[in-house]
Amino acid sequence: MKVDVLLGLQWGDEGKGKIVDVLTPQYDIIARFQGGPNAGHTLEFEGIKHVLHTIPSGIFREGVINLVGNGVVIDPVIFQKELEKLAPFKIDIKSRLLISKKAHLILPTHRLLDAASENAKGKNKIGSTLKGIGPTYMDKTGRNGLRVGDIFSPNFKEKYDSLVEKHVGILKHYEGFEYNLVELEGPWMEGIETLRQLPAVDSEHYLNAAIKSGKKILAEGAQGTMLDIDFGTYPFVTSSNTVTAGTCTGLGVAPNKIGKVIGIFKAYCTRVGSGPFPTELNDEVGELIRKEGHEFGATTGRPRRCGWIDIPQLKYAIMINGVTELSMMKADVLGCFESIKACTHYIINGEKVDYFPFDINDTEVTPVYEELPGWNCDLTQLTELDQAPKSLTDYVKYLEQKLEVPITVVSVGPDRKQTLTKEVPQVI
């Protein structure tokens, strides 16, 4: 079997957690391949809302293994809190959750470095979630990092102390930055103890053996394509490869083992944190989308910036990821509009372009919109796409034509059940 991939095509928070949970019964293994607790993946069923940060979104389904891959960075403190939140649901974590020995650890000093670095950037802040993501990946590529496998080593404490010493040296350069490391270290060491109780595996071997034996695997992305370290709106990005290629390096799965690539996007667009966002609406329309969509960060609670859908941006993301099918999320949120807009082009330096340019941080990008009829009704009770208002099915067809990829899921609410599906057509 091949490994299917589900990932975000915009700036994150597209609804990955919900769709992974919906698709999990079709799979044997759900594997996160990058990112860390900067992610907040929300699932809703039986009237309960769950937010996961490090643990894959298949954890609530029986008989499915959830694997935290080598490309993920783990904060033991946040991880332990996630486990504690799951405790009331009586999930047998030890039989359902595996962690790669090669996943890197976020140290308390990584979080401090993240905060100090953001502080020093002043108005050029990335708007990081301050979970220590950047500094941890920097130590990974700088060949200084600590990995899950190291916690079983007799000289783990020595390795930890040596890295902390290095970090403390760097922190001295941030004048006026105060911190209390001892306070942070206690819970961190407790978290390490918890991690030691869980099965740490050579996940690349585990997954490749699973592929060979015909197991079905879904790779769960975090963040979104426009936050990718190489292809996103650099430098306002995260520090990992959020794209399909990240599955290969983040799980140890070869490119020829990748199957379907499910790209997920909102019927509009959001972004949280700093950085360019061509279709952002700084007006009452953007405000209304934020209100209707409850667009506040699942990890930080920050208000998300909102705007219309951006077709050149989505085309770019589809190209980079090799998307084979699409899920359109939060169609219900646009239910309050008589008409909606889709950005088809940009005007840059007086020229009309339909591709995503190299750098839009210092260049003025004016979106060109096409206005389309809205559905102007409540979609949340819909159970079949055939019963959807024509303006919604027309919007789906319009996007399929522009994006040249079939939309197989239309989501009309946060609950598992509020998910409309359609077969992949032979020809679009």
Please say which residue, 127 or 322, places its beta carbon nearer to ligand IMO.
127
Give the one entry of ligand GDP, ligand IMO, Mg ion, none that residue 273 binds, where binding means its C-beta sits below a cut-off of 5 to 8 angstroms depending on kind.
ligand IMO
Sign of the torsion angle spanned by Cα atoms 195, 198, 202, 208: negative
- Using CB distances below 5 to 8 A depending on partner kind, what does residue 10 bind out of ligand GDP, ligand IMO, Mg ion, none? none
Which of ligand IMO, Mg ion, ligand GDP, none is residue 129 near (CB under 5 to 8 Å by kind)?
ligand IMO
Please report, as ranges, the residues that interact with ligand GDP according to CB under 6 A.
Answer: 8, 12-18, 39-42, 44, 293, 298, 329-330, 332-333, 411-414
Asked if 135 is part of the footprint of Mg ion (rule: CB under 5 A), the reply reads no
- State in angstroms the smallest separation of the CB of 308 from ligand GDP: 17
Q: What b/e readout covers 47-72, taking b as 16+ CB neighbours within 10 angstroms?
A: eeebebbbbbbbbbbeebbbbbbbbb
User: Segment contacting ligand IMO (CB under 6 A): 64-72, 130-138, 201-209, 367-375?
Assistant: 130-138
Secondary structure (H, E, C), 141-155: HCCCCCEHHHHHCCC
Residue 389: asked if its preceding bond is cis (omega within 30°), the reply is no
With CB under 6 A as the contact rule, the residue among 24, 27, 34, 38 that binds ligand IMO is 38
The answer to whether the beta carbons of residues 312 and 270 sit under 8 Å apart is no
Instruction: Please report how close the Cβ of residue 229 comes to ligand IMO at its closest, in angstroms.
Output: 10
Task: Please indicate whether residue 110 is annotated as part of the active site.
Answer: no
Partner residues linked to 41 by β-bridges: 52
CA distance 243 to 355: 18
Give the CA angle between residues 46, 265, 220 to the nearest 5°: 65
**How near is the Cβ of 420 to ligand GDP at its closest, in Å?**
10
Choice among 13, 75, 139, 332 that is catalytic: 13
Is 129 a binding residue for ligand IMO by CB under 6 A? The answer is: yes
Angle of helix 181-196 versus helix 76-86 axis, rounded to 10: 60
Can you list the alpha helix ranges (DSSP code H) found in 197-310? 203-212, 244-251, 284-292
Determine the interface stretch with ligand IMO among 101-109, 125-133, 328-336, 363-371 (rule: CB under 6 A).
125-133
Residue 41 is among the residues annotated as catalytic for this protein:
yes
69 binds ligand IMO (CB under 6 A): no
Q: For the CB of residue 223, give the shortest distance to ligand GDP in the complex, in Å.
A: 8
Burial environment of residue 402 by CB neighbours within 10 A (0 to 12, 13 to 18, 19 or more):
middle
For the bound state, the minimum distance from the C-beta of residue 413 to Mg ion, rounded and expressed in Å, comes to 17
Sketch the per residue contact string, 21 through 40, with Mg ion: x for CB under 5 A, - otherwise: -------------------x
Q: Which 3 state secondary structure label does DSSP give 220?
A: strand
Q: Which residue in the block uniquely carries the two structure tokens 């699973």?
A: 210
Closer Cβ to ligand IMO, 27 or 265, answer by number? 265
Where do we find the tokens 């390096």? 249
Question: Cα torsion at 280, 283, 284, 287 (round to 10°)?
Answer: 50
Q: Which of the stretches 75-83, 220-228, 325-333, 352-360 binds ligand IMO when contact is defined by CB under 6 A? A: 220-228
Binding mask 254-293 for ligand IMO (x = CB under 6 A): ------------------xx--------------------
Which of ligand GDP, ligand IMO, Mg ion, none interacts with 414 (beta carbon under 5 to 8 A by kind)?
A: ligand GDP
135 binds ligand IMO (CB under 6 A): no
Instruction: State phi, psi for 314 to the nearest 5 degrees.
Output: -65, -40
Measure CA of the first residue to CA of the last residue in the chain; give whole Å. 26
Residues that bind Mg ion (CB under 5 A): 13, 40, 298
Q: Which residues are catalytic?
A: 13, 41
